[in-house]
Amino acid sequence: MFWYKLEFFLDRAQLSENHLLRRDTLDQYFPSGLIPFESIEGNRWNVYCFVPEDAEYYVDSQLEKALNDWPDSINIVDLGSYKRFIKNGMLSFYDSWSLYYWSLALTWMQLNKVQCEKIALFHIDDHKDFASPHLTQENKEYASLFSGNAISLDSPSSIAEAIREKSIGIGSFIAPLVHSINNLDIFHWRSGHCGQDEQLWLSPTFVEDSLLAPGKFKPGLEFSQDSGPVDYTLSANGVALAKKLHNYDIVFLHFDCDCFANRYNLDSNWSHNEAGIDLPLKEMKKRITELFLVFRDLPAKIFLNVALSPGFFPAEYWQEICQHIFQEAEDVGILKEDSFSAFLKDAHSSEILSPATAFVPSVGHIDPRLQSIFH
């Protein structure tokens, strides 16, 4: 079963008459978390999209159990909308909410006249996430291809709506950030990366839309080996990468937990033998602790958000890995009550994790240090 989400009408010539080619086009075009179907109505296609309601979509056999153990009441159809604030940090299931958190941070910085010359995105992820979102540019403004709504990084509420409707998706949330600020560098920790570190440059570019709005252009990113406004460094060594951050005023510290275990990669044909990275929980914790020890000594203001990536990172680890990340972040002074947490609390009081709904494992060992996070 699926829950109805979006509907579009296309000229008959826009999709192949061959069923397999047509399915490939639709599956490639629409982002993860939207399931497209099509039917013929006269001389046009009716394309209608749903969000998954069945756990089978996420491949992970432990997902339903993990959701039953979760402190908040949440249904599978709501995974893509879930976000919660913990002090000055944020937790979500879908990675796309990272852009919303960054837009809140940038709004807070502007309101408080926080000056910064250099911003770093420390991107902890098994994927680059440099795809183009389903937004088009008109008169230097962005509009959603799915709803037509105006989208701007200066308006966190517009970003939130774009994420809910998935015009900003789990693989396409970084391009709008690069297009919106001009003093950003990206450091990408990918545990599964093989070989030497890569040093490249990124430039904002535009990519023509291929289906819903031919002739209009979406924000994209382009690599160069020569030069560009954004330095991009890729490494399998998170500690060494973090040591390069001493000259930055602001760091967006972003965990997508599939960096440590991308067991399923949202692929129903997954295999233990083919997983690019699937570390034991003990090794994940060790690497996270080592990373935070480096971040403890950085002079930058650090904004932390964590995404759990259902269908990628195993659900059996969700509670324990979150407990570890947030506790380590508090121990080194990143996760705390400050003026940014007050800003979040004022605007989003219903989404603050309180002691009554604190994120703790329902079974097994609970680190007593964790209690301080919620007081």
Q: What's the mean per-residue pLDDT of the chain?
A: 90
For 155-196, the DSSP string reads -HHHHHHHHHHTSS-TTSSSHHHHHH-SSEEEEEE-TT--SS
Q: Helices marked H in the chain — which ranges?
A: 19-29, 63-69, 97-111, 156-165, 175-180, 238-242, 281-295, 318-331, 339-347
| 3 pLDDT above the threshold of 70 | no
Strand stretches in 225-286, DSSP E: 230-235, 250-256
Q: How many CA atoms lie within 13 A of 78 on its CB side?
A: 9
| 363 pLDDT above the threshold of 70 | no
**pLDDT more than 90, % of the chain:** 80
Structure confidence at residue 1 (pLDDT): 36
More confident residue, 349 or 85: 85
pLDDT tens digits, 31-42: 999 999 999 998
pLDDT band at 56 (very low <50, low <70, confident <90, very high): very high
Q: How far is residue 171's CA from residue 133's CA, in Å, rounded to a whole number?
A: 8
Instruction: Please name which of 38, 28, 48 lies closest in space to residue 210, comparing C-alpha atoms.
Output: 28
Q: Domain locations in the chain?
A: 2-52, 59-374
Q: How far is residue 36's CA from residue 57's CA, in Å, rounded to a whole number?
A: 13
Structure tokens at 100: 């919303």
| 272 pLDDT above the threshold of 90 | no
Q: 174 near 203, Cβ under 8 Å?
A: no
Write the CB contacts of 189 (distance below 8 Å, at least 6 apart in sequence): 122, 123, 124, 125, 235, 236, 237, 238, 241, 259, 291
Q: How many CA atoms lie within 13 A of 65 on its CB side?
A: 11
pLDDT band at 5 (very low <50, low <70, confident <90, very high): low
pLDDT tens digits, 286-325: 999 999 999 999 999 999 999 999 999 999 999 999 999 9
| 172 pLDDT above the threshold of 80 | yes
Q: How far is residue 137's CA from residue 150's CA, in Å, rounded to a whole number?
A: 10
Q: How far is residue 223's CA from residue 74's CA, in Å, rounded to a whole number?
A: 39
pLDDT tens digits, 90-146: 999 999 999 999 999 999 999 999 988 999 999 999 999 999 999 998 777 899 999
pLDDT tens digits, 193-217: 988 999 999 999 999 999 999 999 9
Write the CB contacts of 197 (distance below 8 Å, at least 6 apart in sequence): 233, 234, 235, 236, 237, 241
Amino acid at 347: A
Structure confidence at residue 4 (pLDDT): 46
| 365 pLDDT above the threshold of 50 | no
Q: Is 42 in a helix, a strand, or coil?
A: coil
Structure confidence at residue 190 (pLDDT): 95
346 φ, ψ (degrees, to nearest 5): -65, -40
Q: How far is residue 209's CA from residue 216's CA, in Å, rounded to a whole number?
A: 6
Structure tokens at 159: 């970003």
* Neighbouring-strand partners of residue 204: 221
pLDDT band at 17 (very low <50, low <70, confident <90, very high): very high
pLDDT band at 349 (very low <50, low <70, confident <90, very high): low
Q: Between the CA of residue 110 and those of 103, 116, 117, 301, what are the distances in Å? A: 10, 11, 13, 14
pLDDT band at 362 (very low <50, low <70, confident <90, very high): very low
pLDDT band at 275 (very low <50, low <70, confident <90, very high): low
- Largest Cα–Cα distance in the chain? 65
pLDDT band at 226 (very low <50, low <70, confident <90, very high): confident
pLDDT band at 44 (very low <50, low <70, confident <90, very high): very high
Section 342-365 average pLDDT: 60
Instruction: Please name which of 188, 282, 190, 194 lies closest in space to residue 230, comparing C-alpha atoms.
Output: 188
